[in-house]
A and B are shown apart, each in its own frame.
Chain A
Amino acid sequence: MKIRKSFTSFLALVALAIMLTASPIAAQDEPTTLQLWRFFNECASNFEGVTQLGDTNDVCAVQQVLANQWNAEHPELQVETTSLVWPGIVELNAALAGGTPPDIMSMHAFRIPAYASRGTLTPLTSYLEEAGVDVDDLLPNVRDAVTWNGEIYAIPFDVHGILWHINLDLWGQAGLLDDAGNPMIPVGLEAFEAACQQVLDTTGSAIFGGGEDDIVGTEVIWFSIYSQMGGSIADENGVPSVNTPLAIEALELQIRLREMGCFSSGELGKTYEGFNQGAVAGVNAGTWMVNEFDAQVKDEDAGLKDLYVAPYPQIGNTPAVWGGSHTWVVPLGPNADPERVRAAVQYIKFFYDNQIAWTRTGHATVRQSVQNSPEYQALPHRDEYAAFANQVVYFPKTGWVTAIDQIMHEETQAAILGEKTPEQALNDAQSRLIDIASFQ
């Protein structure tokens, strides 16, 4: 009897514990609070109450401090930030399925068609106009990237992509600096090969170091060369076209330049290590690496003493480079409560107006007015890669491009490492992408 009593008490305790644990761990949101979901780390606690950016160029800090600034200035409309694991898609998909999406969400521009076509994003054109967001100030290619079926679905806050980071000391040794001490950037295949040979002969280093373990050293190079040759990964009907004769030619050229030693092979991280030691003449690295390499230059123990950051090398006929944009979208669907959307757009406008703050992170601005501003030009190396943002080629606006980075990385890597011929690799890529496209 005693045991039964104590067991019943135990069960009651368990039930009580379940009831208690069912209450939210965090406090319930106020109705006027906007939910903003973003990737780029968690740091809210470290920056609690901080409303001045100071000299930070950290991706998380900039986003959090701007949100704090907004909250301090707008007690009637608070923004509550939630950090996601990059790129935040798992969390977003679950929230959309559960009917609890956030009001504002950071999203890569190339994902917009996949979500907009399913009716999960709110078209923003009229709201942006009403709020006085100057969308005409966007760079033309960027504006086009966030427009789908004639509607603007997002406000981008950067252009990110790959740049050519150059060790000026080694370029000087190779005789590739002009009288002003600037690098003589080769334009076109012939000039690139000649410069590559000059750097190889004098320094023994690759002119454009990379690595096959990362998309930066595989798909990005192929995509950029293919685009520079005038190719496109989708035909006029939006069908994948990654195994055209031009696509194969681009991959063959990439492999030949690697065999020549112009593109270094191995691990990308090891190549960057060599660059920081001052042993690699140039590397293929993202806008996100500008501040990092710059920090090395400022460290007296580093071998890298003099850095120049150029746009992506032009090997084909026209300048072009793989890239994209981080954007703010409103994932409340086309029939969202207009008041809610208006409120979300107010914060998006605030972030857009403070564009310069985000560009500290190394990514390029999306705004023409900022691009030409002295404040932007004064940021490290921005004047050197000013042309980059206009050269970025966005992925075509189809749903299947969400899979392209992974598939093209695997297939181009297989060709580079000799596991497949370039033709086989691109045929396999085409077939895999067609499979994905058939589900869109």
Chain B
Amino acid sequence: MRTIRLSIQAISLPTTAWLTKKPVNWRQIILVLLFWGFTFLWMLPAIWSLVTSFRYETDIQRNLISLVPFPITTEHYQRILGDGLVARWFLNSLVVASTRTIIQLTLCSLAAFAFTRIPFKGKRVVYVLVLIGIMVPFEAILIPIYLFFADLRMHNTYTALIAPEVASPLALFLLTQFFQEIPTELDEAAYLDGASRLTVYLRVILPLATPVLTTLAIFTFLGTWNEYLWPLISATDRQALTVTIGLRKLAETFGHQTRDLGLKMAGAWVGGIPVLIFYFIFQRRIVSGIKLTSGFR
């Protein structure tokens, strides 16, 4: 907040200085200029990629680093958006990311409720076994999972894209930690009023866990949207591609890295814009989620 106040003061300084004859606060002006400078530097790669996506390829290859988009062309976007399957790939990504998010939150919150609220034999052992899953990278179990879905003849289906990571040990761990912080007195009060376990879970625990659930939902959705390796091997049929893989195939180039830059950059923007919109909508939640998951206050 302090940053914003300083900026407003600095911007309005020339007018107010003239009216009130206050001395110019050079320190604040320099500070604001520095902020702008660093923001520009930070944004430079994004600005360059946006400009490049609107330049002719022959022009790009004569002048790789340019922030001038003239002569301008939309040919790269036409090639990408003109492909009849791009909309389908966006839909696939949306279905996969949304469904996985919903199922993962449902499964993991139910499991976390059981671990924190229901006494049963061997709970600690089971919990530790589940948490060991955090240490096993997905790449290590990729082939067994691939074979499992191949045996079921389920590759190129939504289920194959959604199912492998719905039971997330990390999500379970975070939810368990959060549920433990919720006082059990609240459950007891509900039980006294005749509530069942399910009612306590749905009416007491879940509403109180909204911050962590929202955070998990955002990160699961974004993680699934950007997922690469599993959709690459599971969904090979062009109708079944997710947007990440589809755009990669559409804008892929061969030879050396700077070839077909316009197409690559246009592909990056087309694929990235939904994520950017998502980020702007949930900006506050994402930031508070990072604090929540990192322990940073």
Contact = CB atoms under 8 A, between A and B. Distances in A.
Given A42-B83, A45-B85, A296-B58, 15 more contacts: A3-B196, A22-B157, A24-B240, A25-B92, A43-B83, A44-B238, A82-B237, A94-B233, A95-B236, A98-B155, A99-B150, A268-B258, A272-B256, A302-B62, A303-B62
Contacts of B256: 214, 216, 268-269, 272
A23 interface: yes
A48 B145 CA distance: 34
Interface in B228-279: 229, 232-233, 235-240, 245-246, 248-250, 252, 254-259
A97 interface: yes
B266 to A, nearest CB: 14
Interface in A27-74: 37, 40-46, 48, 59
Given A41-B249, A273-B63, A46 B83 contact: yes
A438 interface: no
Contacts of B198: 3-4, 7
Interface string B54-74: 000011011110000000000
B37 interface: no
Interface residues of A, number: 58
Interface string A92-131: 0011011110000000000000000000000000000000
A355 B200 CA distance: 71
Contacts of A350: none
A4 B106 CA distance: 15
B83 A45 contact: yes
Nearest to A276: B62
A100 B150 contact: yes
B58 A302 contact: yes
B146 interface: yes
Given A25-B235, A270-B64, A94 B146 contact: yes
A202 interface: no
Contacts, number: 154
Interface in A262-284: 267-270, 272-273, 276-277
Contact of B248 (A85, A90, A276, A292): A85
Interface in B202-252: 202-203, 229, 232-233, 235-240, 245-246, 248-250, 252
A16 B17 CA distance: 68
Contacts of A21: 95, 99, 157-159, 162
A97 B143 contact: yes
B61 A42 contact: no
Nearest to B147: A98
Interface string B103-122: 10010000000000000000
Query: 7 closest Cβ contacts across the A-B interface?
Result: A269-B258, A98-B150, A21-B158, A26-B239, A42-B249, A25-B240, A94-B233
A91 B232 contact: yes
A44 B86 CA distance: 12
B84 interface: yes
A83 interface: yes
Interface residues of A, dominant DSSP: mixed
B79 interface: yes
Given A25-B235, A45-B83, A286-B255, A18 B64 contact: no
Nearest to A8: B198
B199 interface: yes
A299 B233 contact: no
Given A276-B62, A296-B61, A24 B252 contact: no
Given A99-B150, A296-B58, A17 B156 contact: no
Interface residues of B, dominant DSSP: helix
5 contacts: A23-B157, A25-B239, A26-B156, A84-B236, A299-B58
Nearest to A100: B150
B157 A24 contact: yes
Nearest to A82: B236
Contacts of A213: 257
Interface string B82-97: 1111000000100100
Interface string B145-182: 01101110011111100110000000000000000000
Given A46-B83, A214-B257, A269-B256, A83 B157 contact: no
Contacts of B58: 276, 295-296, 299, 301-302
Given A26-B237, A276-B62, A299-B58, A292 B156 contact: no
Contact of B61 (A40, A46, A276): A276
A4 B201 CA distance: 11
A273 B85 contact: no
A285 B61 CA distance: 14
A94 to B, nearest CB: 4
A292 B158 contact: no
A14 B236 contact: no
A14 B84 contact: no
A414 interface: no
Interface in B7-51: none
Nearest to B102: A14
A100 B150 CA distance: 8
A289 interface: yes
A73 B174 CA distance: 59
